[in-house]
Structure 1
Amino acid sequence: MNFENALTALKAGKFLTRVGWGTALVYLVKKEGLATRTKDGKLATMAHRPYFSLRSAKAETLPGWTPRASDLLAEDWEIIDLEDV
């Protein structure tokens, strides 16, 4: 699919990858907040403007992903099911 359709899917909460990235282990998701810990160690979500987060093949989370021109022009976007990864 193209980026226009991929963006619609991201806004709907889907996980996406690109064939050009070489593996479904690298995927993109829209986030609404940032996970953080309170002073007493409890997990909390900090309010934040929506953003895209990329999960790398090394299982690193890279918040604030911004598409490059090649991503915007690509026709190889795919929705993935994380249970299949």
Structure 2
Amino acid sequence: MKFEEVLPRLKKGEKVIREGWGGAELYVKLVGEKELDGLKLNPYFVINVEGEGYTMFTPTVCDLLAEDWKVV
């Protein structure tokens, strides 16, 4: 799948991965709009890295143009 195909699924709460990454424990998800200390936080992507937990994820140009995205 292309990134533009998985984006609506991310918005619905699904998790995605690129086939080239390997490993079911490595996936990207979208964290929706939240409020923290009275301030609005915009939605952002996180990636779950096995053994390390979540970290921020910013898709690269290669990620955006890739056609090997899939829902996990």
Shift of 1:33: 5.4
Alignment of 1:5-84 (within 5 A): 5-32=5-32, 46=36, 47-63=40-56, 65-80=57-72
SS at match of 1:23: coil
Q: Which letter does structure 1 place at the counterpart of 2:2?
A: N
4+ runs deviating over 4 angstroms: none
**Please, what TM-score do these two structures have when normalized by structure 2?**
0.81
**Please, what TM-score do these two structures have when normalized by structure 1?**
0.70
> How has the CA–CA distance of structure 1 residues 33 and 58 changed in structure 2, closer, same or farther, with 3 Å as cutoff?
farther
Q: Which letter does structure 2 place at the counterpart of 1:29?
A: K
Considering only CA atoms, is the larger Rg found in Structure 1 or Structure 2?
1
> How has the CA–CA distance of structure 1 residues 51 and 78 changed in structure 2, closer, same or farther, with 3 Å as cutoff?
same
Identity of aligned residues (%): 36
Q: Which letter does structure 2 place at the counterpart of 1:78?
A: K
In the alignment, structure 2 segments of 5+ residues that lack a partner are: none
